[in-house]
Amino acid sequence: MSQQTVLYPQHVAANAKMVDFHGWEMPINYGSQLDEHHAVRQKSGMFDVSHMTIVDIQGAQAKTFLRYLLANDVAKLSQAGKALYGGMLNHEGGVIDDLITYYFSETEYRLVVNSATREKDIAWIQKIAADFQVSITERPELAMIAVQGPEAKAQCAKVFSAEQNAAVEGMKPFFGVQAGELFIATTGYTGEQGYEIVVDQSQVGALWDSLVEVGVVPCGLGARDTLRLEAGMNLYGQDMDESVSPLAANMGWTVAWEPSERDFIGRKALEAQRSQGKEVFVGLSLEEKGVMRTGQVVWVTNRDGEQVSGVITSGTFSPTLGYSIALARVPAFEGEYAKVEMRKKQLTVKIGKPVFVRNGAKV
């Protein structure tokens, strides 16, 4: 059965093309995915991300619990509102989900997890929480809008109250603050500045409409995917899943090895993998015609001069750069070029870091 977010009427009224996204009926675009992409890189655009799952973790052992549950270490968080990205792993070191943790106090945290993984995430969190003094509260009554782009903050300022504008004044990246009816965070999934705004379902329609009125462009999942790929951000289920180590999926930086005495789920498995270091996550660029697609085979040359294969985990056309880019997981390699098998031919592509565009410009 397909679910709809509260903003469904807004999407339909704006002529959105709706598609099924893991059981949610979501807008893929409102006419042109490319125009929406450029709106976010050059001005401001917004996404309905109300399908994402918000889980509040509270209780005397909230901190202890999350230090065991997550591969990143919430002990790094000491300023109210500070956010932390990282993976929730299984005992084998595979990624159950990637998520953002907001710190309010040592007894109050908020997790924002993917919608596609909601059921297994909640089941896992509850299972692990059984041994801790914590309460786990899903917040399905909350909706969320991501407003992104170089003009996003200025546009939001026009619809925020004086109190809300005061609350976000000078807020650094990766922070969140409750200001009146809105939880406003300087996070996102596009590589641009902006906010992710959490609000009660009953008020999200009015917020969306007022953002449309000031000129923020509604954007669909299509643009969201090309934007996050240019920014080198992972998509759960494509770039990593339970069979993939965070160390082979661009998430090594989110694994907090220190302090070494902290035990977290998956630690032992990751330590074993770390010493092997067999796969790496790279960015690929194809500066001629053609588009690399998810699932295509990549060939690289190893230190013995042999051709060894990896896989494109996410591939697309980059609207900002005008050529195709991809994220890929490959065996340890030497050299700067790889070959990709695309439709009847093999094309040479350049290997680089898995990030392509930040704040409107080529990295």
* Whole-number Cα distances in Å, 347 to 52, 297, 317, 334: 37, 11, 15, 18
Q: How many Å separate Cα 267 from the centre of its chain?
A: 22
Binding-site member from 5, 10, 29, 313 for other proteins (CB under 8 A):
29
Stretch that binds other proteins, among 173-181, 288-296, 329-337, 355-363 (CB under 8 A): 288-296
In this structure, how many other beta carbons lie within 10 angstroms of the beta carbon of residue 161? 12
Decide: residue 181, CB within 10 A, 0-12 exposed, 13-18 middle, 19+ buried.
Answer: middle
Nearest to other proteins of 266, 319 (CB atom): 319
Nearest to other proteins of 72, 226 (CB atom): 226
- Cα gap 18→286, rounded to integer Å: 30
Nearest to other proteins of 257, 323 (CB atom): 323
Considering all CA atoms of the chain, what is the largest pairwise distance in Å, rounded to the nearest integer?
64
Kindly state whether residue 307 participates in binding other proteins, applying the rule CB under 8 A: no
CB 38 → other proteins: shortest distance, Å?
11
Pairing mode, strands 24-29 and 345-352:
unpaired
Kindly state whether residue 53 participates in binding other proteins, applying the rule CB under 8 A: no
Tabulate helix, strand, coil % of the chain (nearest 5): 25, 35, 35
The pattern of x and - marking residues 178 through 217 that bind other proteins according to CB under 8 A reads ----------------------------------------
- Cα gap 321→17, rounded to integer Å: 25
Binding-site member from 15, 32, 202, 307 for other proteins (CB under 8 A):
32
Binding-site member from 150, 290, 331, 360 for other proteins (CB under 8 A):
290
196 a known binding residue? yes
Binding-site member from 193, 226, 234, 313 for other proteins (CB under 8 A):
226
Give the side-chain half-sphere CA count within 13 A for 187: 24
Kindly state whether residue 317 participates in binding other proteins, applying the rule CB under 8 A: yes
Which residues here bind other proteins, judged by CB under 8 A? 17, 28-29, 32-34, 222, 226, 289-291, 293, 316-317, 319, 343
